[in-house]
Amino acid sequence: MIYNHGNYKNGFTALHIACKKSRVEMASVLLKYGALLEAATETGLTPLHVAAFFGCTDIVSFLLQHGTNVNQTTLRNETALHLAARNKQLETVKTLLGYQANLDCRTRDNQTPLHVAVRTNYLPIVELLLNAGSDPNIMTKDNYTPLHMAIKEDSEDIVRILIEHDANPEVKTKKGFTPLHLAAKYGSCKTAHLLMDRAKSDPNATGPNGFTPVHVATYYNNNKVSCHDLMLDKLIEFGGDVNRPVKNGYTPLHLAAKRNNLDSIHLLASKGAITDKGSRNGYTPLHLASQDGQIEIVKVLVEKYKAQVNTAAKDGLTPLHLAVQEDKVNVAEYLLSSGASIDTKTLKAGFTPLHSSAYRGQLASVRLLLSCVPEHQLQQVINSRTHMGSTPLHLAAQQGHLQVALKLVQMGADPNICNKQGWTAAKLAHKQHYLNLFELLQSITTNGGDGCLPSSNGIDDNANLINGVMPLEKAEYMTDHMISDSEDEADLLSTPAMFRYPEPRKEMLDEPADNDITSIPSTPTLDNKLISVRPTTLRIPEYLTALGGETLCSDLHESMTEERVKPMLNGKGETATASQQPVQMTINASSPAALSEWDFDVDNVHSTKNLVKSGYVLISGLVEAQRRPGLRFLVPPNAPSGPLRIICRLLRPEAIDNPPIFNDGDCLACRIIEMNPNQMRFTLPILVEVPHIASIKGREREIIIVRSETGNSWKEHTLEANEQAINDSLGDAFDHFDLNTSSLNKRIHRILTYDLPQYFALISRFRQEVAFIGSDGGIISSTVASQVQAVFPPGSLQKRIKVGLQAQLIPNDVINRLTDGRVSVSPVVSIEPRRRKFHKPITLTIPVPRHSAKTIPDTTNSSPKIRLLCSLSGGINPAVWEDITGSTPMTHHKDCVSFTTTVSARLWLMDCPPDIPVTELATRIYNESIEPPILGRFVIYARQSTDLETEVELKTPDKLPRQLAHAQDMKRSISRTKKFTTEFAQIRCICLTDGNNDKTLECLEHYCQVAIGPFVEIQQNKPIWIEMVGNLVPVLRSDEQLNFTIRPFHDNRITFPVRLRDVLDHEPDSSTVTGKIAFVREPRKAQTTLDMTSVQQQRLITLLEFKLPIPDKTIVISTRGNVEKMNKSQIIALEIGGDCKRLAPHLGFSEQDNKTIDRIPLNGIASSRHGNKNQ
């Protein structure tokens, strides 16, 4: 009998079970026969841990008397004292302390038994540990002391005893919170009084971004109004400053106004809060209340506490501006009745409240403002001008607000007024493409001239400003924002995280109808597959996936019943099902694809299956994922501190809450990699090889690695994985693997890391040259476009920072397709970090745009002119192009242009005729060129009906056995159709971006793979069009064309029926019919005959050929995942199994049929097929 290795579950021995059941006699017998006192489970639990957790004091004493280690730890570094404190086992704690248990032994997250006891809110054990000498000021990894935890548990008695034992009340967590901050947040009035009265805690202690406990108490209400107000009053009583600002200048009164907390406003104002105190940008509490439409707060501030309604912020915005911007009509009406001025202008743009409401299209606010203006001042107010000379009507026309413009015109707005650049409101609407608004305004505008050009008629300013440029007005908005600084369990003023993910751009094409056969049926797919690399020789501890942070929940009960690896994120597998919808199909004349042949080569490749080598792990080794070929981990010797299980999942970006942020042209190069155990550190770096789908296009693009430790934020992974670093890290441990060439021959990217974050992500982006530049200046040159460079003179930067230079090449086919060769452009040059102002101008050099060799610019009407375009948008904001040619001097030398700039931005040159709207064209070209390229391959599947024609007469006896009756029925069904049916086969085309071509859904639906192509470059979120030729043509209308949109990391499917053409004479094999499918980037033009030239004009991606048997001969059929050609006799034999030979004479089978039946394993296949049906 084995006492130590005959495990109950996951390492539990008989001694563990005896300790759980408190069987001292049984434990004594087990020890007598050699049971190990310190036998540990996979999670590191010894018999002492089990006995301590369940409070079996007798067993604990028995084990300690026999010499077990009282301080033995689990994989979480928990001792028996931790577990006894967690389960409130007072007597067991006393026994352990009597055997000199370590009072301050720390777990992985630095929790002592005192922390555990405080979190369980059990005073007797807390008092016992403190009296025994436990340190009350030890901090966890997040710098939480027992006092912080007691405050969060709202335990007055525990707080009191901790203070009596000299707990420090001024210790701050990692985020900067004192215990008093937490008491203010959770509304723990009694504990807050203890802290300030006995521990002399400072009510003005600053936390993150300058928050004091007074700010926290004001902001958090916690649905306990009376207690909340009592907390605030208590803080002020002990000296809390009601006028102290936080980092952005908000006082507690600002926060009370923002949170619509009227009681706090009364309390703060009665304690001396300044009502009109401005924030860092000059916004008062009245500004915040007006913007949010809090009418009761506004009335109290104005009537009771005399807040000034015309107080302007530093940018000139008044409370009335903010109220009408957000269309808070009731607040605006009250402010006007209280004396708010309707003529106050903002500083930068010169907007009055009427300008702001017209710009935002707030019709109700416009009506209110105009109704409050005396009749003799109406013309002055309604035609008031901004600093650029725009009236409210100009702004409504610029933004396309038709109803607002109508109201302004009805009230007497003058449509003939020009702004300083000579534009009337009608011309602005025309320039902005608001045609309905343009027609309305043009009909009442008497200021003549070209409707598309500015005019000097009616302008009352410098005529030299009329240069044809149309600068758009921009309204001021409140620049103060609520500060966000998240604490582990104390999220102060949290704001939602903003991120942008590239959305599919819709093509200017007709959408398919609901019953269109080109639409892809909805097919749920299996997602988020768990990739688990399991060892073959070791049992791996579960505690390597230990809970992080301050989680104090024990899984000991689960361990005693069933210890198993739990799926990360509680993912549940789903069964893939396919729902087929009825489709109405019409057959008209043959499509253009059926009228010609293509004489160029096809791109078919042979389908092969990679044999997966089983991974192995001890203390080091190479691990290869079985479900994702190419993903592998290389762990050098002695890198982990012990046995290790690595589990990772490949996730789509929508599967996580905060995916990485993408700039223009960025995309994921592979699925997001979730690691477990995360935050695991290695003594030596390990290597992770990840397959990707990015198209690098030479040196135009690159792949960068970003990581997220907790899933909340992302940063770039800085450890470079070049060959020298890999050789230095791995040494000769993997000499038998050709590591130097593995990433060159495959689409593999390497990650070298000392630790495992929660997520890794590979991002494909335009190549960026990075250098550190300081006050001494420097030069950055592009390796993508050799003539692009940026020169930073000395003094342009005051401190040394990382600066990037990015050159994006614009493909010639994009320019030719959009401009017919009339325009040429330079590379788009970007300086990172964006929107940074330099202390001295930097010099940029960009090559002069050149026309491609295939196009000749049209110079008959107008001569080309080089324009300099700039976009100041940074980060995730889309590019907005402006023509700065007139304001930026340029120097031409040889084939380059140089100019200076004081801000980092996107810039490029465009050579185009003057009559072309350059900014609109630049936006179209840029948006078309930033679609990130990826690699994918096309696979063609086919499914033929079993309806084969036959002319054999049945020779049937009078009495048929059951098997013969079944065969006869089947044969009649096979004989039911004619030779050429409407639907010859179902074709399914799939574009694969990752994964393999052995698709489960196609296997379940009995599709056979008939062709597979090589990896080709495609663009994500763009449609792929299908052309088909040969003796197989799709069943659809002649004016329709099949297409489907490509999404990375999804199974992009399209299914459609095909029929036979009537021409079979030119087939080289009379038993098969041939089809060719071309996947192209552009749709077919009307009345086009398909030939090699026309398909190339549609930008051919790849061409695949496949063959199917003639329906009166054989069909292709999928059996056990293999594709076979079978005739009618073989199909019948598969159905009825081994009785087929005995029934063959009655079915009219020939000798040749019998020979073909002999070559197939009838019993095995038939049984498996019937077994599948039964399932």
Domain ranges across the chain: 1-69, 175-276, 281-479, 623-766, 768-930, 935-1149
Question: What is the phi/psi pair of residue 933, to 5°?
Answer: -85, 145
Which are the contacts of 908, defined by CB distance < 8 A and separation ≥ 6? 825, 826, 827, 828, 829, 846, 868, 869, 922
pLDDT at 947: 44
Kindly provide the b/e burial profile for residues 652-688, where b requires at least 16 CB atoms within 10 angstroms of the residue's own CB.
bbebbeebbbbbbbbbbbbbbbbbbbbebebebbbbb
CATH number, domain 175-276: 1.25.40.20
pLDDT of 1006: 78
Q: Is the dihedral of CA 88, 93, 94, 95 positive or negative?
A: positive
Helix residue spans in 412-517 (DSSP H): 425-431, 435-444
Q: Comparing 310-319, 448-457, 654-663, which segment has the lowest mean pLDDT?
A: 448-457
Instruction: Kindly indicate the confidence band of residue 722, based on its pLDDT and cuts at 50, 70 and 90.
Output: confident
pLDDT score recorded for residue 619: 40
In the predicted model, is pLDDT for residue 728 greater than 80?
no
Asked if the 768-930 domain carries CATH number 2.60.220.30, the reply is yes
pLDDT digit string, tens, across residues 767-806: 999 998 999 999 999 999 989 999 999 999 988 899 999 9
Q: What is the pLDDT of residues 288-301, one digit of tens each?
A: 999 999 999 999 99
Q: What local confidence, expressed as pLDDT, does residue 245 receive?
A: 93
φ and ψ at residue 1029, rounded to 5 degrees: -145, 165
Burial of 559 per CB tally in 10 Å (0-12, 13-18, 19+):
buried
Mean pLDDT of 1101-1110: 85
Beta pairing partners, 1118: 1123
Mean pLDDT, rounded, of the chain:
77
Mean pLDDT over 202-213 rounds to 90
Assess whether pLDDT exceeds 50 at residue 43: yes
Residue 751, classed as helix, strand or coil, is: strand
Average pLDDT over residues 431-441: 87
pLDDT beyond 70 at 323: yes
The answer on pLDDT for 409 being more than 60 is: yes
Which of 447-456, 911-920, 935-944 is least confident? 447-456
The pLDDT assigned to 629 comes to 66
Q: Which residue has the higher pLDDT, 834 or 1052?
A: 1052
- State the pLDDT at residue 527: 35
| pLDDT on residue 735 | 59
Tens-place pLDDT, residues 1012-1041: 999 999 988 889 999 888 778 888 877 788
pLDDT at residue 1008 in the model: 87
> How confident is the model at residue 1002, as a pLDDT?
81
**CA gap 33, 52 in Å, rounded:** 23
DSSP 522: P
The percentage of residues in the chain with a pLDDT greater than 90, rounded to a whole number, is: 41
Give the torsion sign (CA, 997, 1003, 1004, 1005).
positive
- Mean pLDDT over residues 1140-1165, rounded? 60
DSSP 542: G
Question: Distance between CA atoms of 663 and 671, rounded to whole angstroms?
Answer: 18
Q: At 1079, is the pLDDT very low, low, confident or very high (cuts 50, 70, 90)?
A: very high
Instruction: Report the run of H or E that residue 28 belongs to, with start and end.
Output: helix 24-32
* 934-953 average pLDDT score: 69
Residues sharing a CB contact under 8 Å with residue 748, sequence separation 6 or more, in sequence order:
630, 689, 690, 691, 692, 742
Q: What angle do CA 1119, 1123, 1125 make, to 5 degrees?
A: 95
Which range among 154-163, 205-214, 589-598 shows the weakest confidence by mean pLDDT? 589-598
**What pLDDT was estimated at residue 1055?**
92
Angle at 541 between CA 540 and CA 543, to 5 degrees: 145
In 3D, which of 993, 995, 991, 990 has the Cα closest to residue 1048? 993
Indicate the pLDDT class of residue 1137, thresholds 50, 70 and 90. Answer: low
Higher pLDDT, 739 or 87: 87
pTM: 0.48
Instruction: Report the candidate in 1164, 1085, 1110, 1141 with the shortest Cα–Cα distance to residue 963.
Output: 1141
Three-class secondary structure of residue 217 per DSSP: helix
Residues 6+ apart with CB under 8 A from 151: 159, 179, 182, 183, 186, 188, 191, 195
pLDDT band for 422, please (50, 70, 90 cuts): confident
Burial of 239 (0-12, 13-18, 19+ CB in 10 A): exposed
pLDDT tens digit sequence for 219-250: 886 444 456 568 888 899 999 999 999 988 99
Residue 454: which pLDDT band, with cuts at 50, 70 and 90? Answer: low
Cα(first)–Cα(last) distance of the chain, in Å?
43
What pLDDT is attached to residue 38?
A: 83
pLDDT of residue 763: 94
Return the pLDDT at 1121. 47
**Span 23-37, pLDDT tens digits:** 988 998 998 888 888
**CA pair distance 223, 226, nearest whole angstrom:** 9
Tell me whether the CATH fold assigned to 281-479 matches the one assigned to 768-930.
no
According to the model, what pLDDT value does residue 273 have?
Answer: 94
Instruction: Give the pLDDT of residue 384.
Output: 95
Q: Peptide bond before 677: cis, by omega within 30 degrees of 0? A: yes
- How much is the pLDDT for 567? 31
Q: What is 1-69's CATH topology?
A: 1.25.40
How many helices (H) does the chain have, and how many strands (E)? 39, 37
Measured between alpha carbons, how far is 394 from 893 in angstroms, rounded to an integer? 42
Q: What is the mean pLDDT of residues 591-619?
A: 49
pLDDT at 568: 32
pLDDT bin (cut points 50, 70, 90) of residue 335 is: very high
Instruction: Return d(Cα 429, Cα 711) in angstroms, integer.
Output: 45
Give the pLDDT band of residue 1116 (cuts 50, 70, 90).
low
Task: Say how far apart CA 977 and CA 1130 lie, in whole Å.
Answer: 19
How many CA atoms lie less than 13 Å away from 963 in the CB half-sphere?
15
Residue 438 above 60 pLDDT? yes
- In degrees, rounded to 5, the angle at the alpha carbon of residue 366 between the alpha carbons of residues 257 and 469 is 105
Widest distance between CA atoms in the chain: 111
Domain spanning 935-1149: which CATH class is it, in words? mainly beta
Residue 63 or residue 3, greater confidence: 63
- Tell me how far apart the alpha carbons of residues 231 and 179 are, in angstroms, rounded to a whole number: 14
CA-based nearest residue to 931, from 1051, 1078, 1081, 829: 1081
Alpha-carbon distance values, 697 to 18, 701, 811, 1024 (Å):
66, 6, 12, 20
- Asked if the model's pLDDT at residue 736 lies above 60, the reply is no
As given in the structure block, the two tokens for residue 1093 are 């030239």
100: confidence class by pLDDT, cuts 50, 70, 90: very high
Task: For residues 605 and 1083, give the distance between their C-alpha atoms in angstroms, rounded to a whole number.
Answer: 26
**pLDDT value of residue 570:** 35
The pLDDT value recorded for residue 822 is: 83
Q: Quick one: CATH architecture of 623-766?
A: Sandwich (2.60)
Over residues 330-359, the mean pLDDT reads 94
Q: Which two tokens stand for residue 650?
A: 């490949």
Rounded to an integer, what distance in angstroms lies between the CA atom of residue 506 and that of residue 395?
Answer: 29
Residues 281-479: name the CATH superfamily: Ankyrin repeat-containing domain (1.25.40.20)
The closest of 929, 942, 938, 943 to 1079, measured between CA atoms, is: 938
Q: Is residue 234 classed as helix, strand or coil in its secondary structure?
A: helix
pLDDT tens string 851-878: 765 544 444 444 457 899 999 887 678 8
Report the C-alpha gap between 223 and 218 in whole angstroms: 13
Cis peptide before 833 (omega within 30 of 0): yes
Nearest 5°: the CA angle 606, 609, 615 is 150
Q: For residue 955, give both structure tokens.
A: 């020779």
Q: Which residue has the higher pLDDT, 632 or 1154?
A: 632
Amino acid at 197: D
pLDDT for residue 302 is more than 90: yes
**Least-confidence region, from 262-271, 410-419, 483-492:** 483-492
CA distance linking residue 451 with residue 440, whole number of Å: 13
**What per-residue confidence (pLDDT) applies to 1001?**
80
**254-267 mean pLDDT:** 91
Q: Which is nearest to 180 in space by CA: 161, 200, 164, 160?
A: 200
Lowest mean pLDDT: which of 49-63, 719-733, 951-965?
951-965
Band of pLDDT at residue 638, cut at 50, 70 and 90: confident
